[in-house]
A = this chain, B = another copy of it.
Amino acid sequence: MANVKLHGAWASPFSCRVVWALKLKGIPYENIEEDIPNNKSKLLLQYNPVHKKIPVLVHGGKPVCESMIIIEYIDETWPQKPFLPSDPYQRARARFWVKFADDKSFVVRTLLISSGEEQEKAKNESLEFLRTIEEHGLGNKKFFGGEEIGIVDIAFGWMSLWLGVFEEIVGVKLLEAHIFPRLYAWTKNFKEVPVIKQNLPDRHELLLLFKGVREKSLGSSSSS
């Protein structure tokens, strides 16, 4: 029995955060693919009774929930190649952007499952989200973590693939190179890191899946 198990779902950017972290640290683990949202395993419900959500990392039989809390757990348990800086002030700055990613990313998800006025609002909020990161978050660094991937890069990792998939499905362009040059360059840098490149979902599969999500959502909202 593996000492480290991940209950996750291949298409979830939250799951992928944990996959990237484990792979970057070089920690072997067993992947347990959950059938979300309708057929979650009993173990998942037992491990995360409050939210009943993936990802859950199980280490030595003990569950850790919430993707970015898992990342900090991984960083504290296997300190090699740290994801967080050592200086308390720089740690606080990193956590600020992790919280920003977690609190604000939903606007882009809203864009995917909305239409008309609601979609226009979500588009504007998504642009504001990107603008804030472009202006305040990244500076002139290669990664949020500096020369190496850090915790903030992992938190924003979904922008390197899912964002473009959502743009294509909805038919809007958000992350344009001439408007957000730093962020655009970052997505390229992030995807070029071998561990990330090898552990991103297949773009075409992702496109098909989220097309279905959008169609189902718009279909059900127009008939309600």
Which residues does A use to contact B, with CB under 8 Å?
49-50, 59, 62, 64-66, 69-70, 72-73, 76-77, 88-89, 91-92, 95-96, 99-100, 132, 136
Contacts and interface: CB of A to CB of B under 8 A. Distances in A.
Nearest to A77: B88
Contacts of A65: 96
A69 B132 CA distance: 19
Taking chain A's interface residues, is the majority helix, strand, or loop, or is none over half, making it mixed?
helix
A59 B57 CA distance: 36
13 contacts: A50-B100, A59-B89, A64-B92, A66-B95, A66-B99, A69-B92, A69-B95, A69-B96, A72-B91, A72-B95, A73-B88, A73-B89, A73-B91
A70 B132 CA distance: 21
A103 B99 CA distance: 11
Contacts of A92: 64, 69-70, 72-73
Q: Which 9 A-B pairs have the closest CB atoms?
A: A76-B88, A73-B92, A64-B92, A69-B95, A77-B88, A69-B92, A73-B88, A50-B136, A62-B89
A66 B95 CA distance: 9
A81 B141 CA distance: 36
A132 B73 contact: no
A72 B95 CA distance: 10
Given A76-B88, A88-B76, A89-B73, A136 B49 contact: yes
Given A100-B50, A132-B50, A89 B69 contact: no
Nearest to A73: B92
A153 to B, nearest CB: 18
Contacts of A136: 49-50
Contacts of A69: 92, 95-96, 99
Nearest to A76: B88
A71 to B, nearest CB: 10
